[in-house]
Amino acid sequence: SNMDTSFHTDRPLVAGVYVPTVCFFDEETEDVDTATIARHAVRLAKAGVTGLATQGSNGEAVHLTHSERQLVTATTRKALNDAGFPHMPIIVGCGSQSTRETIQLCCEAWEAGGDYALVLPPSYYASLFAPSMATVMEFFNAVADASPIPIIIYNFPGAVNGMDLSSDVIVKLSQHPNIVGVKLTCGNTGKLNRVAAATRNKRNDASKPDFLVLAGSADFSIQSLVAGGHGILAGLANIAPKACIKTIELYNQGKHAEAQAMQEIVSQGDWTAIQGGVVGVKSGMQGWSGYGGYARSPLPKPTAEQAKKWKDGFRDLILLEKSL
Amino acid sequence: SNMDTSFHTDRPLVAGVYVPTVCFFDEETEDVDTATIARHAVRLAKAGVTGLATQGSNGEAVHLTHSERQLVTATTRKALNDAGFPHMPIIVGCGSQSTRETIQLCCEAWEAGGDYALVLPPSYYASLFAPSMATVMEFFNAVADASPIPIIIYNFPGAVNGMDLSSDVIVKLSQHPNIVGVKLTCGNTGKLNRVAAATRNKRNDASKPDFLVLAGSADFSIQSLVAGGHGILAGLANIAPKACIKTIELYNQGKHAEAQAMQEIVSQGDWTAIQGGVVGVKSGMQGWSGYGGYARSPLPKPTAEQAKKWKDGFRDLILLEKSL
Amino acid sequence: SNMDTSFHTDRPLVAGVYVPTVCFFDEETEDVDTATIARHAVRLAKAGVTGLATQGSNGEAVHLTHSERQLVTATTRKALNDAGFPHMPIIVGCGSQSTRETIQLCCEAWEAGGDYALVLPPSYYASLFAPSMATVMEFFNAVADASPIPIIIYNFPGAVNGMDLSSDVIVKLSQHPNIVGVKLTCGNTGKLNRVAAATRNKRNDASKPDFLVLAGSADFSIQSLVAGGHGILAGLANIAPKACIKTIELYNQGKHAEAQAMQEIVSQGDWTAIQGGVVGVKSGMQGWSGYGGYARSPLPKPTAEQAKKWKDGFRDLILLEKSL
Amino acid sequence: SNMDTSFHTDRPLVAGVYVPTVCFFDEETEDVDTATIARHAVRLAKAGVTGLATQGSNGEAVHLTHSERQLVTATTRKALNDAGFPHMPIIVGCGSQSTRETIQLCCEAWEAGGDYALVLPPSYYASLFAPSMATVMEFFNAVADASPIPIIIYNFPGAVNGMDLSSDVIVKLSQHPNIVGVKLTCGNTGKLNRVAAATRNKRNDASKPDFLVLAGSADFSIQSLVAGGHGILAGLANIAPKACIKTIELYNQGKHAEAQAMQEIVSQGDWTAIQGGVVGVKSGMQGWSGYGGYARSPLPKPTAEQAKKWKDGFRDLILLEKSL
């Protein structure tokens, strides 16, 4: 059974670099390419990242069926276990429009070996929420009540028609024992600062981590650390995991000038990842690492010119990565 | 087999009133309530509507699993057939983010007895489209190539992060033989006029209807007719099918003053449907017809005060409906 | 004195075609070109339009100083008077962020010979309104109390950060004796229908017109008429005043088929005006009528290719115009 | 003459805390209250701020006439000179829709004693820009060519219909010798990091400052410092100048833990300033310092309950401020 102890061992959330892994597909059929998924997961683990996240925006969650989502997560879990990383946590993107399906996704994530669920607020019917944040609070609390795995709130206004959760809402939700962190892709480090301050040492439970506050892009890594954040969950780490890790390590070691110098290279590389999204990140991986392929249709395949642009945009970062 | 001739008989799209049926759920379990779905479909058919649409925004498409979607459509088909309406077409909402899943939904809709697929453009990764409308065109053409049933384009910017298809894009897409209509929920009757003008008598095929141009809300019914539109696909018809039909009939009979007088009552009632969305429409149905129930969580259940407000908002329209 | 009786004679608002005149500038200095302003106003008056509006969006209100605004309005008034159109009303765009400056603009418009003030809601600090529509209502009522000329509400969400006045708000504002109409550039003919129905025969004063409801674009002219509207206030009439007038006349004469045929040409031409805005309208005027020039910087001057595109976009409409 | 040497002395931009001063009005007449403007400027100067900015969003630029703007700036300049702060620079908000008026505002700012112009991009006709950023670049370069005082770019998407200048655009504009800094109110510290990295040591002119990169809110003060920024231009400093200054000083002295502790109080206080905007900031000043008054109409006057909420929101910050 995949329900045995070794499968569902405790993998606490700690500070560090988490990677929302891109998903891989056969170029002809667009079927899920499990071999490359496994290979990429192990490569990231060996680079030293703290955890992986399947089915984030870079993982094309919205392009996958329920069973494909489980396949990707289970493949990732098995690959990590087989390669000697049984303790590395996997976060699974589980947001959907209904409370019911979101809970179902959390259960399926757990069955497939996921440790945490990353949950976007529902937004399709946002104009009918009454009032807006009361419905959102109710949604998150209901999901957290029912989910077999803890919840990480995903605040990404660009993905949910502009809905932006305030520090007040996030802090209130952090009181639920099964809501254990937040990923802030909004880039608002003032909000991050308020959330980190209000949730620090909240749980008074030495056996569990505090509320984990993660930056959603690598271009504000040390900016989030100085504001009390614990790390990043950022697509750029698919391309340059070591550079992302080292930037944060240097900062945490008090080597601020060196951290700042490295952050600047990371931020410049991230500008390409932000502009190109999963299309650009995959193109960059293909260009520099020889694998990556394309996103599922209708996402476009880059032209030769675009592929060159994405590759060039990551050049300095890749040079740094290879030196580490 | 449900694939026999009588099941997949030809049900041409003609001008008229189409109803995006609300979906019904058990109040306790939130499971699909097939009995009420069947009852409501038959009530609408007997009122004289031209066709039904399952899994529109009012049908809570985004709250249903693939198999629930098929259950709703098949229940509707069977109810119509059993009640003597075997020729009434069913349109099925099939939009999703990937080309692949959209085609799958079209196939599943066809298997369940659907006749046409109503398709929203993908929008989650819209910033990565390159350029935006080229990717959208490619998406619709690929779906239309592969779908076993014809496609109706669904233009509803509010549901897809503001993406608004222009008349140019819609007219170009209308050239695909398997793209047969558009629902304009944007409310732009100038665009509707351009689309209707450019697609009229386009197919030169007496055995098939022209490109069907439908208004997405009842509050611009006769405004769309005067602009060359063919009717409506509008949530308000769940509440007042006869009033919607009669308004259009009066206009088409040249009784413009009477049509205008009735349109004003329809438009005022629709203001409640627009503000309340599926929550308000269901609440109004419960208040005036004794069934309706609630939308799936996290959509809120109206308070007593809100329920009264929604009921009152439909009063004049219901009085008109009962007089017809 | 310009305050004499003949200057401030009564010019009631009646149904018809109103033109938000473009403003003209010297190509070198970008100074206001009064000769062309006068010439264009007279050309439109001779074509038979009902009224003119200075300092709308097409009139580049936001590019003009207070004194330039007065110069444009006074030039237009004098040109109309001198050419034998002393009874043609002039509407003047007077929206601004503060109640105080809006009232000042209304006074200055009156001094310059304006008859009505077209007023956008303030939006810069919209997030601080409390609640939003209460502040907007208070703004319009305060302006209407103080303005020496009556107010026409200008609903144009695209110009005010998305703020969209509902039919409820507009209907409430219509109760103020000095608020006498609305221009709906939102294109929402359902809203237009509700407003027209609720404000019809409201004033019970045979000496004054009812609340005037105008469409903000020519591409929904007859759609707004069938919904109870009274006409248009539309930039396209700078290019093709007679076609705009004739479309409405045919409809009002009950020649619906002919009106619809003409509306389709108007709607297609308007697509160019909507896409090109004041830049495209001026370019089209230059191409077809030999005057127009450019908008003030930073608005771009069209390239030769763009100028050809705008000219071509108006071709069918211009052919219609010349035939009338 | 106010054009003498001592009036237009050189006041270089240096790193630090700049305050976009609120404007003050007579409660009855809403006329500009010069006495309070002078008093507040001197209070801030004595608290140790680096510079002041008149006619930012908090200064109600959009509510002031050209001559009132000059009055406010000249009053501020004179108050600073008279109180012994002749070297403190004044930045003046000069954004407007046309190139022409923006240059005029820069000239008038200079005449009134302003040292730098803070310029928003034009946005009213943004859909007509061609392409968008080419027009924006042209605008800033034309203004910088003609302005008698150097330009600081103001990136505040919320004030200009969502227009967000990228790091690429800002870096390109920084090459103009008369564009000397940027205020980032977008809160994007990744962008800030890229801009700071690309513009550092750019000018190679020891007599002039580098390109000044300022955070637009106090809640990301140290986050912007660690990213290479030089300080803040933030409304909260109207309420708590010393706390803003001390947070930055502690950070610059390497006392990071103390800076972080203070930043958290600042960020919490800033949450009130962000939510309340100029209405809340003035209300808080009135509550804690006995002056402030109200914003010009139509901005609402807080109810007693709201005034209490704004006052309470600043409590911890005020306690910190008074301890410094």
Q: Sort out which chain A residues have CB atoms less than 8 A from B300's CB and list them.
A: 128-130, 134-135, 138
DSSP structure class, residue B151: E
pLDDT reading at C1 higher than 50: no
Average pLDDT over residues D199-225: 85
Residues in chain C: 324
Q: Sort out which chain C residues have CB atoms less than 8 A from B226's CB and list them.
A: 222-223, 226, 256, 260
- Other residues' Cβ atoms within 10 Å of the Cβ of residue D203: 16
User: CA A7 to CA D65: how far, in whole Å?
Assistant: 70
Q: Which residues of B lie closer than 8 Å to C, measured between beta carbons?
A: 167-168, 187-191, 193-194, 197, 217, 219-220, 222-228, 256, 260, 263-264, 267-268, 270-271, 274
Q: Which of C95, C86, C123, C83 is nearest to C20 (CA)?
A: C95
Q: What is the pLDDT of residues D214-249, one digit of tens each?
A: 999 999 999 999 999 999 999 999 999 999 999 999
Average pLDDT over residues B124-147: 94
Peptide bond into C150 cis (omega under 30): no
Mean pLDDT of chain C: 95
pLDDT reading at D159 higher than 60: yes
**How distant is the Cα of B278 from the closest Cα of chain A, in angstroms?**
8
Tell me if A241 sits within 8 A of A49, measured CB to CB.
yes
Residue of chain C whose Cα is closest to the Cα of D29: C100
**How distant is the Cα of C215 from the closest Cα of chain D, in angstroms?**
20
pLDDT reading at A15 higher than 50: yes
Tell the burial category of B298 from Cβ atoms under 10 Å away from its Cβ (0-12, 13-18, 19+).
buried
pLDDT for C2: 46
Residue of chain C whose Cα is closest to the Cα of D303: C130
Q: Which of C246, C306, C248 is nearest to C279 (CA)?
A: C306
Mark yes or no for CB contact D190/A187 under 8 Å: yes
Mean pLDDT of chain A: 95
* From C128, C276, C298, residue closest to D122, measured CB to CB: C298
Q: What is the pLDDT of residues A89-123, one digit of tens each?
A: 999 999 999 999 999 999 999 999 999 999 999 99
- The H or E element containing residue C109 is helix C99-111
Give DSSP secondary structure letters for C156-199.
Answer: -GGGTTT----HHHHHHHTTSTTEEEEEE-S-BHHHHHHHHHHH
Mark yes or no for CB contact C277/D130 under 8 Å: no
User: CA D298 to CA A215: how far, in whole Å?
Assistant: 38
Mark yes or no for CB contact A189/D217 under 8 Å: no
Average pLDDT over residues C143-153: 98
User: CA C195 to CA C192: how far, in whole Å?
Assistant: 5
Token pair for A255:
């080597």
What contacts B199, CB < 8 A, 6 or more positions away? B171, B174, B210, B211, B213
pLDDT classification of D1: cutoffs 50, 70, 90? very low
Mark yes or no for CB contact A99/B297 under 8 Å: yes
Token pair for C139:
């703004």
pLDDT reading at C5 higher than 50: no
**Domains of chain A in sequence order:** 16-323 (3.20.20.70)
pLDDT classification of D131: cutoffs 50, 70, 90? confident
Average pLDDT over residues B93-114: 98
Pair type for strands D116-119 and A231-233 = unpaired
User: CA C128 to CA C123: how far, in whole Å?
Assistant: 10
- Rounded to the nearest angstrom, the gap between the alpha carbon of residue A102 and the centroid of all alpha carbons in its chain is 17
Neighbours of chain A (3+ CB pairs under 8 A): B, D
Q: Which residues of A lie closer than 8 Å to D, measured between beta carbons?
A: 167-168, 187-191, 193-194, 197, 217, 219-220, 222-224, 226-228, 256, 260, 263-264, 267-268, 270-271, 274
- Cα torsion B158, B162, B168, B171 to 10°: value is -40
Mark yes or no for CB contact A222/D224 under 8 Å: no
Mark yes or no for CB contact B270/C190 under 8 Å: yes
Token pair for D73:
């700036």
Give the residues across from C91 on adjacent strands: C53, C116
HSE (side-chain half, CA atoms, 13 Å) at B246: 19
* From B168, B219, B223, residue closest to C226, measured CB to CB: B223
Mark yes or no for CB contact C193/B219 under 8 Å: yes
User: CA B206 to CA B35: how far, in whole Å?
Assistant: 39
Mutate which: B124, B154, B278, vs A, most A CBs within 10 A = B124
Helix pair angle (D66-82, D34-47), 10° resolution: 50
**How distant is the Cα of A1 from the closest Cα of chain B, in angstroms?**
27
pLDDT reading at D102 higher than 50: yes
Q: What is the pLDDT of residues A22-64, one digit of tens each?
A: 999 999 999 999 999 999 999 999 999 999 999 999 999 999 9
Tell me if B140 sits within 8 A of B173, measured CB to CB.
yes
Mark yes or no for CB contact B190/C271 under 8 Å: yes
Residue A242 bears catalytic tag: no
**Collapsed DSSP state (helix, strand, coil) of residue C130:** coil
**How distant is the Cα of D133 from the closest Cα of chain C, in angstroms?**
11
Q: Sort out which chain C residues have CB atoms less than 8 A from B168's CB and list them.
A: 271
Instruction: With an 8 Å CB cutoff and a minimum of 3 pairs, decide whether chains B and D touch.
Output: no
pLDDT reading at D83 higher than 50: yes
Residues in chain D: 324
Tell me if A152 sits within 8 A of A213, measured CB to CB.
no
* From D193, D219, D264, residue closest to A263, measured CB to CB: D193
Instruction: With an 8 Å CB cutoff and a minimum of 3 pairs, decide whether chains B and A touch.
Output: yes
Q: Sort out which chain D residues have CB atoms less than 8 A from C136's CB and list them.
A: 298
pLDDT classification of C210: cutoffs 50, 70, 90? confident
pLDDT classification of B26: cutoffs 50, 70, 90? very high
Which of A230-239, D8-17, D35-44 shows the lowest per-residue confidence on average (mean pLDDT)?
D8-17
* From D100, D134, D279, residue closest to C30, measured CB to CB: D100
Neighbours of chain C (3+ CB pairs under 8 A): B, D
Q: What is the pLDDT of residues C26-65, one digit of tens each?
A: 999 999 999 999 999 999 999 999 999 999 999 999 999 9
Give the residues across from D52 on adjacent strands: D19, D90
Mark yes or no for CB contact B194/C267 under 8 Å: yes
Residue of chain C whose Cα is closest to the Cα of B167: C271
pLDDT reading at B207 higher than 60: no
Per residue, what are the HEC states of chain D?
Answer: CCCCCCCCCCCCCCCEEEEECCCCECCCCCCECHHHHHHHHHHHHHHCCCEEEECCCCCCHHHCCHHHHHHHHHHHHHHHHHCCCCCCCEEEECCCCCHHHHHHHHHHHHHCCCCEEEECCCCCCHHHCCCHHHHHHHHHHHHHHHCCCCEEEEECHHHCCCCCCCHHHHHHHCCCCCEEEEEECCCEHHHHHHHHHHHCCCCCCCCCCCCEEEECCHHHHHHHHHCCCCEEECHHHHCCHHHHHHHHHHHHCCCHHHHHHHHHHHHHHHHHHHHHHHHHHHHHHHHHHCCCCCCCCCCCCCCHHHHHHHHHHCHHHHHHHHHC
pLDDT for A6: 53
Q: Which of B128, B127, B140 is nearest to B169 (CA)?
A: B140
**How distant is the Cα of C10 from the closest Cα of chain D, in angstroms?**
30
* From B99, B124, B129, residue closest to A159, measured CB to CB: B124
Q: Which residues of D lie closer than 8 Å to C, measured between beta carbons?
A: 30, 57, 62-63, 65, 96-101, 122, 124-125, 127-130, 134-136, 138-139, 142, 158-159, 161, 276-280, 295-300, 302, 306
Mark yes or no for CB contact D226/A224 under 8 Å: no
* From C219, C228, C260, residue closest to B190, measured CB to CB: C219
pLDDT classification of D2: cutoffs 50, 70, 90? very low
Q: Sort out which chain C residues have CB atoms less than 8 A from D282's CB and list them.
A: none
**How distant is the Cα of C226 from the closest Cα of chain B, in angstroms?**
6
pLDDT reading at C6 higher than 60: no
Q: How many CB pairs under 8 A join A and D?
A: 97
User: CA D35 to CA D41: how far, in whole Å?
Assistant: 10
HSE (side-chain half, CA atoms, 13 Å) at C43: 16
Instruction: With an 8 Å CB cutoff and a minimum of 3 pairs, decide whether chains C and A touch.
Output: no
Q: What is the pLDDT of residues C242-290, one digit of tens each?
A: 999 999 999 999 999 999 999 999 999 999 999 999 999 999 999 999 9
Mark yes or no for CB contact B98/A136 under 8 Å: no
Q: Which residues of D lie closer than 8 Å to A, measured between beta carbons?
A: 167-168, 187-191, 193-194, 197, 217, 219-220, 222-228, 256, 260, 263-264, 267-268, 270-271, 274
- The H or E element containing residue B90 is strand B90-93
Tell me if C89 sits within 8 A of C11, measured CB to CB.
yes
**How distant is the Cα of A161 from the closest Cα of chain D, in angstroms?**
14
pLDDT reading at D207 higher than 80: no
Tell me if B143 sits within 8 A of B110, measured CB to CB.
no
